[in-house]
A = this chain, B = another copy of it.
Amino acid sequence: MRILVTYDVSTETAQGRRRLRRVAKVCQNFGQRVQKSVFECDLNETSFAKLETDLLAEIDLKEDNLRLYRLERPYDRHIREYGRFRARDFQDTLIV
């Protein structure tokens, strides 16, 4: 199944910026960055559960927001993309 991960991590503090990096790293282990804070991941049930567990271990529920969307096939009928693919730009800034 394809899972879309979107997140808002509060970056007002150094801890927040650290969480942002760590959330992105978790997502990178499971899928493809498509926007700054959006990843698409092709997963089975086991890896989906692991992704969710890993993300919940990193985010601060009082400060951040995490959303997981399950997309249905055929994906090309459920996803439209326009414009420049900028994911690589952001990835560079995330190396710790």
Contact = CB atoms under 8 A, between A and B. Distances in A.
A55 B83 CA distance: 11
Contacts of A81: 65-68
B6 A35 contact: yes
Residues of A in contact with B, size category: 35 or more
Interface string A1-42: 000101110100000000000000000000000111110000
B38 A67 contact: yes
A62 B86 CA distance: 10
A9 B95 CA distance: 22
Contact of A70 (B34, B37, B70, B78): B78
24 contacts: A4-B69, A6-B35, A8-B35, A8-B86, A34-B65, A34-B67, A37-B37, A38-B38, A52-B80, A55-B82, A59-B82, A63-B83, A64-B84, A64-B86, A65-B85, A67-B81, A67-B82, A68-B80, A69-B78, A69-B79, A70-B78, A71-B78, A72-B72, A72-B78
